[in-house]
């Protein structure tokens, strides 16, 4: 268990924080932040961050990183969110797809894709979820059929991915042997999102970030776009999902929303507006402290080469439920005047209330996380 940060980690955090406080970065972050259902293009901000070397610090230097520890990448993620940088591009491109390539991609795939991702010149998204499959990837119906020339043609529908209309690559799960068992015969591909046969449309929703529907109609991919062995995608997905479920990104949302609620309370009445909420504020802070420890327990394990499915499930469940709870509570904090004047806290908390319902669904539902925990206890002697 981690109870503090090393001097080197503290110096790194201070350097990152100093850079992110520059007027240029702050202005770009403000322009990239969505509000009232409008989703701006955040790619210019990420190109700036890539130029500053603040996207993939833990990747090897040859792939555009700085060769720093994975735990420093977590420190960077914390400071990006605290500086007001919208985090979806970073989570999807660097923490999920890029990390998956580092873990499972071959040398050529890494050379071909990782440097551009690290520079903020290319972006990626995940194409797992399907209309009738939901969180159960064993029920996916998308198929990748051999084209006779060593490549494949992918056909199917994917839903609920974020930022997809802006991205260049999709990490797609498809069945390469449909007659195999439920969790067999699945393969993973990198799909060019500008390729013929790819159609991206928005799904109506209440959040400031828009979900998308992706239709894949015989999309051509080469053998070089297959990640890992054919039909062996399920074990890779299990490892990748554990890496994705550190809980850190949800913790950071919860922290930001609680801080914003406190800001709204002080703006309402600096002397006494918060008095009626003191007990609940204390409980939220206690839960956030526990949440941070859970996330860093997973992160330090990953740094040491340990993938703990149980710890990741606990961290993801606790952090997403906590963030959702804080967002629901904070929705009633802004006063009518703050809402009417669209103050900064009122806008952030309104956006949080609309975003929060999806947090306990993404990266695996809360029910799936509880199932993982229950299964672990069932296996005890």
pLDDT above 80 for 324: yes
In sign, the C-alpha dihedral spanning 126, 131, 135, 138 is negative
Structure token pair of residue 328: 């629901």
Taking only the tens place, the pLDDT of each residue in 234-267 is 998 888 877 788 999 999 999 999 999 999 998 8
Tens digits of per-residue pLDDT, 57-84? 999 999 999 999 999 999 999 999 999 9
For 69, 162, 284, 285, 333, the CA distances from 279, given in Å and listed in that order, are 38, 36, 9, 10, 15
State both tokens at 218. Answer: 């015989």
Asked whether 144 and 187 are in contact (CB, 8 A), the reply is yes
Write down the CATH number for the domain with range 245-378.
1.20.140.10
Residues of the chain with CATH 1.20.140.10: 245-378
Rounded to the nearest 5°, which phi and psi values hold at 200? -115, 130
Is the pTM higher than 0.75? The answer reads yes
Q: Which residue blocks in 32-69 are alpha helix, DSSP H?
A: 43-51
Region(s) of the chain under CATH 1.10.540.10 = 7-122
- CATH number for region 126-231: 2.40.110.10
User: Whole-angstrom Cα distance, residue 367 to residue 73?
Assistant: 29
CATH, domain 7-122, list 3.90.1300.10, 2.30.30.360, 1.10.540.10, 3.40.50.300: 1.10.540.10
| Closest by Cα among 251, 362, 246 to 311 | 246
* Rounded Cα distance, 254 and 90, in Å: 18
Helices 70-82 and 248-268 cross at an angle (nearest 10°) of 30
Picking from 244, 247, 240, 238, the residue whose alpha carbon sits closest to that of residue 316 is 247
d(CA 323, CA 327): 6
In the chain, CATH 2.40.110.10 covers 126-231
In tens, the pLDDT along 171-180 reads 999 999 998 8
Handedness of CA 349, 350, 356, 362 (dihedral sign): negative
């Amino acid at each position: 268990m981690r109870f503090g940060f090393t001097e080197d980690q503290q110096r790194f955090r201070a350097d990152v924080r100093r850079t992110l406080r520059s007027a240029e970065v702050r202005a770009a972050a403000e322009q990239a932040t969505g509000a009232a259902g409008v989703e701006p293009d955040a790619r210019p901000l990420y190109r700036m961050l890539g130029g500053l070397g603040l996207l993939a610090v833990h990747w090897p230097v040859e792939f555009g990183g700085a060769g720093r520890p994975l735990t420093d990448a977590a420190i960077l993620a914390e400071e990006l969110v605290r500086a007001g940088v919208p985090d979806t591009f970073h989570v999807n491109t660097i923490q999920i797809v890029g990390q998956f390539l580092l873990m499972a991609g071959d040398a050529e795939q890494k050379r071909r894709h990782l440097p551009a991702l690290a520079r903020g010149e290319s972006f990626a998204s995940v194409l797992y979820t399907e209309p009738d499959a939901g969180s159960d990837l064993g029920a996916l119906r998308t198929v990748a059929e051999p084209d006779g020339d060593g490549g494949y043609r992918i056909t199917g529908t994917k839903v609920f991915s974020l930022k997809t209309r802006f991205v260049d690559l999709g990490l797609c799960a498809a069945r390469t042997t449909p007659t195999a068992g439920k969790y067999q015969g699945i393969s993973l591909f990198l799909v060019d999102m500008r390729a013929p046969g790819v159609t991206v449309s928005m799904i109506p929703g209440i959040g400031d970030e828009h979900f998308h529907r992706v239709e894949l109609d015989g999309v051509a991919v080469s053998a070089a776009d297959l990640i890992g062995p054919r039909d062996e995608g399920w074990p890779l997905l299990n490892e990748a999902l554990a890496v994705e479920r550190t809980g850190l990104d949800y913790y950071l949302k919860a922290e930001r929303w609680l801080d914003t609620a406190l800001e709204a309370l002080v703006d309402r009445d600096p002397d006494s507006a918060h008095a009626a909420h003191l007990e609940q504020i204390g409980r939220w802070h206690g839960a956030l402290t526990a949440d941070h420890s859970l996330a860093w327990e997973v992160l330090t394990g990953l740094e040491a080469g340990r993938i703990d499915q149980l710890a990741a499930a606990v961290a993801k469940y606790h952090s997403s439920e906590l963030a959702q709870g804080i967002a629901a509570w904070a929705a009633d904090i802004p006063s009518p005047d703050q809402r009417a004047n669209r103050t900064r806290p009122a806008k952030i908390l309104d956006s949080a209330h609309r975003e929060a319902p999806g947090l306990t669904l993404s990266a695996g539902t809360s029910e799936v996380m509880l199932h993982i925990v229950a299964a672990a206890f069932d296996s005890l002697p």
